[in-house]
């Protein structure tokens, strides 16, 4: 019943996808992101949905005829990682059903899928309640809507993230696609280490901030426990002005990832303690190394819970009915489904477009598979709200 409905609208679906991809929505390009939001809102309203602004720039798309008490929230975002002054700006049709373009997989294909899954349910069924949230800054960790997710505003029984459906192999018309049952959390610190600058010919008159940073880096990297899914990395370090100078100041950034909230909190505290401790002292000059530390991000994980697994099981059952090959997977990168899961809403992710090369100039999707995934998405939603 659903697939013929989708097939009749393939051209409209691709037209909207192309229109959204052609709008540059790099996170820092606020005018472009807002234009993308306005375009999506206009189409949603034409379909009979209502659109509400959340925290200023984000959008919540609602159905207009829900009477049931079971709600599904679709999670998406408008922003991408491709700046407007780059070379990767346009929608391009390739051979064998592939299309390439900035954000076509992450996550504009998912946006279009979510909207048309909502429309299918609206036109084919009498009673359902599904909404779609569209973040304006997810690629930065959704800092300006995080409080909405975590503050009890979701009001849904289940949440489904529309991040790409990651192929388990080379993207093709038959490759198995993943449904994400677990995502690691992400944290980051910015830091500045201060020592005392001097000429390199008189190092006893200074205190080397790079050496002080190195003491911290060794200890932070020792926190890695890959068997538990904990990773730490100092990925940026900037200091010194010449080989002939003892550097007096260093700035840097450290990130860390984790599978459980407890491990994340423990790793965060351990990294902060390492950064703020003192390691070097110049007795003659009466100085010690000091650190200024800022917690730049702390995103909870989407843990593999029994409630989330129930959602995964329903997806797998619906996929089997449709003849789709879908497998449960874990992902290292975070998404806004991390927030809904941490706030207590059973959540899954990776239900969006089948994508390859996201965040690169080879980002592409397989369009026929995306059409089929709309069927899977809508069938999953209907199963949730009707049982």
Q: Measured in whole angstroms, how far is the alpha carbon of residue 162 from the centre of its chain?
A: 10
Task: Supply the pLDDT for residue 67.
Answer: 67
Spatial contact of 128 and 67, defined as CB atoms under 8 Å apart: no
Structural domain boundaries in the chain: 2-184+301-386, 185-299
Q: How far apart are CA 380 and CA 349, in angstroms?
A: 13
To the nearest 10°, report the CA torsion of 31, 36, 40, 46.
Answer: 60
- Per-residue pLDDT tens, the chain, 387 aa: give them: 789 999 999 999 999 999 999 999 999 999 999 999 999 999 999 999 999 999 999 999 998 666 667 899 999 999 999 999 999 999 999 999 999 999 999 999 999 999 999 999 999 887 789 999 999 999 988 999 999 999 888 999 999 999 999 999 999 989 999 999 999 999 999 999 999 999 999 999 999 999 999 999 999 999 999 999 999 999 999 999 999 999 999 999 999 999 999 999 999 999 999 999 999 999 999 999 999 999 998 999 999 999 999 999 999 999 999 999 999 999 877 899 999 999 999 999 999 999 999 999 999 999 999 999 999 999 999 999 887
CATH topology of domain 185-299: Alpha-Beta Plaits (3.30.70)
Q: Is the pTM of this model over 0.95?
A: no
Architecture field, domain 2-184+301-386: 3-Layer(aba) Sandwich (3.40)
Q: How far apart are CA 113 and CA 107, in angstroms?
A: 10
Task: Supply the pLDDT for residue 323.
Answer: 94
Task: Supply the pLDDT for residue 126.
Answer: 77
The two tokens of residue 73 are 């929230």
Spatial contact of 142 and 77, defined as CB atoms under 8 Å apart: yes
């Amino acid at each position: 019943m659903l697939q013929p409905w989708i097939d009749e609208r393939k051209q409209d679906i691709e037209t909207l996808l192309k229109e959204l991809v052609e709008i540059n929505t790099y996170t820092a390009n606020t005018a472009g992101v807002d234009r993308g939001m306005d375009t999506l809102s206009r189409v949603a309203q034409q379909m009979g949905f209502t659109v509400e602004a959340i925290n200023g720039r984000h959008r919540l798309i609602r159905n207009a005829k829900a009477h049931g008490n079971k709600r599904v929230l679709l999670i998406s975002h408008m922003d991408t990682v491709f700046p407007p002054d780059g070379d990767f700006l346009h929608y391009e049709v390739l051979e064998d059903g592939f299309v390439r373009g900035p954000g076509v997989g992450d996550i504009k294909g998912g946006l279009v899928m979510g909207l048309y899954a909502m429309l299918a349910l609206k036109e084919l069924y009498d009673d359902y309640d599904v909404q779609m949230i569209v973040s304006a800054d997810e690629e930065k960790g959704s800092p300006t809507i995080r409080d909405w997710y975590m503050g009890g505003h979701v009001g849904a029984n289940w949440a489904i993230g529309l991040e790409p459906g990651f192929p388990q192999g080379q993207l093709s018309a038959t490759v198995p696609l993943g449904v994400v049952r677990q995502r690691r959390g992400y944290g980051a610190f910015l830091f500045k280490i201060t020592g005392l600058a001097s000429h390199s010919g008189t190092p006893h008159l200074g205190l080397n901030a790079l050496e002080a940073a190195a003491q911290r880096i060794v200890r932070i990297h020792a926190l890695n426990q890959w068997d538990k899914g904990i990773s730490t990395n100092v990925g940026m370090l900037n200091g010194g002005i010449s080989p002939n100078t003892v550097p007096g100041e260093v700035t840097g950034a450290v990130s860390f990832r984790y599978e459980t909230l407890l491990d994340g909190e423990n790793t965060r505290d351990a990294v902060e303690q390492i950064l703020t401790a003192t390691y070097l002292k110049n007795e003659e000059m009466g100085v010690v190394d000091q650190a200024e530390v800022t917690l730049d991000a702390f995103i909870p994980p989407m843990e593999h819970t029994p409630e989330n697994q129930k959602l995964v099981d329903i997806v797998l059952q619906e996929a089997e009915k449709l003849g789709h090959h879908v497998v449960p997977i874990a992902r290292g990168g975070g998404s806004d489904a991390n927030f809904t899961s941490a706030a207590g809403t059973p959540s899954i992710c990776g239900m969006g477009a089948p994508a390859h090369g996201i965040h690169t100039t080879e980002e592409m999707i397989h369009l026929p598979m995306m059409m089929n995934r709309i069927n899977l998405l809508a069938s999953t939603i209907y199963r949730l709200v009707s049982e």
